[in-house]
Structure 1
Amino acid sequence: MSKQTQQDVRGKRVLITGASGTIGRSLGARLVAAGAQVVGLDLRPTGDELFPVVECDVTDDASVTAAVADAVARLGGRLDVLVNNAGVGGPAPAELAPSEEVRRQLDINLLGTWRVTAACVDALVASRGRVVMVTSRMAVLQLPLAAAYGASKRAMVAYADALRHELGTHVGVTCVYPSAVRSPIHDSTAAAGLSLEGMSTYEPLEGVVDAIVRAAFSTRVLRDVTTTRKGAIEFFIARHLPALSDRIVQRTLASRARAGAFDAAELAAGVVRRHRELA
């Protein structure tokens, strides 16, 4: 981003959730190197981040209230940018009744974002700041066998829309849509035999961080930011040609199911059976 289209990052006060994870840690390090003041929130700070990280459970109201107050105090009582990055994934087929795993993802990805943002509203309004929602390509292009993650991220975008209507006179709200980045967030899905390898391609972490920085510091508030050229195409197709995106996903799922990709996955037994019956 050119100097003409980006605010000066130096001295900006930034709060990042999920700050000890793959994206949060890299983003925080980038911003610190650029001269920003950064504080993170994370359930399990590692202690070796390049910026202070406050322990916070985003599923707990009291924890969020206390952690955000601590973080803003560390930033000198001001907050220019909130990056809602905390999130989890996991196996959750849509055909099965909601499990504890489903509730966990909704509580962290959606309600955790809501709790933290609400706790930051006064500080953001005072600074005429920005909120950046790190959503997912799955907010617009749902993949099978991961219904909770897609539902939580799509709901996160709806929350961002409502926030934009309510705070838009004073606070900019931007959604960023990464695809998949190699990180531990995919471990539980892979362990359940539901890896989306072959349905989703990994993208460079650096590009995701670039997109978040662009969303946070562009001189003009951006509404939606994709992270790759391929992601921009997928975003356009999902938004404007949903029947086409449905066909692409369905054909890919059928091919993988018939090839045995999910044979060891108990949670995918229904998908496998139905596709084998069609063979």
Structure 2
Amino acid sequence: MSNPRKSVLITGCSAGGIGAALAQVFQEKGYDVFATARTPSKISRELSTASNVTILTLDVVSSKSITAAVESVRNVTGGKLDILINNSGMPFRAPGLDAPIEEGKKLFDLNFWAPLEMLQAFAPLLIEAKGCVVNNSSCSAVLPMGLCSIYGASKAALTLASETWRLELEPLGVRTITISTCATKSNAQTNGFKAKIPESSPYYPIREFIEKPSDMQAKAITAREYATKVVREIEAGTAGIIWVGTSSMMTRLVASMPGSILDNVVESIIPVQKEMAKAIKEKKL
């Protein structure tokens, strides 16, 4: 017999992240929550001890792990899944000239190919439930942020694909939401990839600027605020792209501005050109 309560599976639920906050909000609303992580011990005790939360080991870049997760959900829900949230992902900070290609490919595996494989694997359960898939993308998909070309490209691929899947899944009764995530406080930045700049790089003079932790989250909204907004949109029946995070509406507006204005805005956030100009000037002196 299937469970009458709605169910949600969320990837990347390690404590301190967006996935954990989403799981917490859904748990409080009485959903059957499947909170997943590659390392389940990183999921908070508050979630792991909740009666309506099932903790699953899930490595989203492993086909075998995804298949096992599908079977676990099927056994609990009777073959349905109301909401799938593809939240797992990782930042990647490096100039294009110094980005390790193999590491970049791994990023695409995690940020793009994994959500697609998750969707394919859980599609029968989502179709049966007439459910909803939510893909966590980023505003970096439309902003040419310095040092973020690989990350932004992976999220741009996800955004375009997710919106295409929305059109493909609609006739099957499955709703699709694409989140253009703006600055939100989480542990993602500390877990992201940061390239070490070699001495041979033209960016070596500004290596400290490149390698230092980003302070973009300093004034960001909390993961809890983010999760509350996202859950509200899901329950409201929203489909398509939604913008969530600090200054999300302003970011959306900036993304549509002419090139020179857009360039000035992104340079004010991550001033690569300014740092390079300073380094060149100091070298001449």
Confirm or deny: 8 A CA contact 2:184 2:246 kept in the other structure. no
Question: Against the structure 1 CA distance between its residues 42 and 198, is the aligned structure 2 distance closer, same or farther, given a 3 Å change threshold?
Answer: closer
Confirm or deny: 8 A CA contact 2:10 2:19 kept in the other structure. yes
List runs of 5+ in structure 2 lacking aligned partners.
Answer: 197-210
Confirm or deny: 8 A CA contact 1:110 1:156 kept in the other structure. yes
1:143 and 1:159 map into 2 onto residues whose CA distance is: 21
TM-score by length of 1: 0.81
TM-score by length of 2: 0.79
Confirm or deny: 8 A CA contact 1:130 1:171 kept in the other structure. yes
1:205 aligns with 2:205: no
Q: Write the mapping of 1:94-243 to structure 2, written as runs, cut at 5 A.
A: 94-169=96-171, 170-187=173-190, 188=192, 193-197=211-215, 201-219=219-237, 221-228=238-245, 230-243=247-260
Worse overlay, 36-45 or 194-203: 194-203
Letter in 2 for 1:202: A
Shift, 1:119, TM fit: 0.6
1:40 and 1:199 map into 2 onto residues whose CA distance is: 24
The counterpart of 1:13, out of the listed 4, 7, 14, is 7
Cα-to-partner distance string for 1:144-173 (whole Å, 9 max, x where unaligned): 112222111111111102211211121111
1:66 aligns with 2:68: yes
Shift, 1:70, TM fit: 1.3
Shift, 1:236, TM fit: 2.4
Confirm or deny: 8 A CA contact 1:199 1:253 kept in the other structure. no
Question: Against the structure 1 CA distance between its residues 275 and 155, is the aligned structure 2 distance closer, same or farther, given a 3 Å change threshold?
Answer: farther
Residue aligned with 1:135, SS: strand
Confirm or deny: 8 A CA contact 2:145 2:267 kept in the other structure. no
Counterpart position of 1:244: 261
Letter in 1 for 2:79: G
Letter in 2 for 1:185: A
Worse overlay, 193-202 or 132-141: 193-202
Question: Against the structure 1 CA distance between its residues 145 and 199, is the aligned structure 2 distance closer, same or farther, given a 3 Å change threshold?
Answer: farther
Q: Write the mapping of 1:18-29 to structure 2, written as runs, cut at 5 A.
A: 18-21=12-15, 22-29=17-24
Letter in 2 for 1:106: F
CA RMSD of aligned residues (A): 2.6
Letter in 2 for 1:134: N
Question: Against the structure 1 CA distance between its residues 275 and 112, is the aligned structure 2 distance closer, same or farther, given a 3 Å change threshold?
Answer: farther
The counterpart of 1:42, out of the listed 34, 37, 40, is 37
List runs of 5+ in structure 1 lacking aligned partners.
Answer: 1-9, 259-271
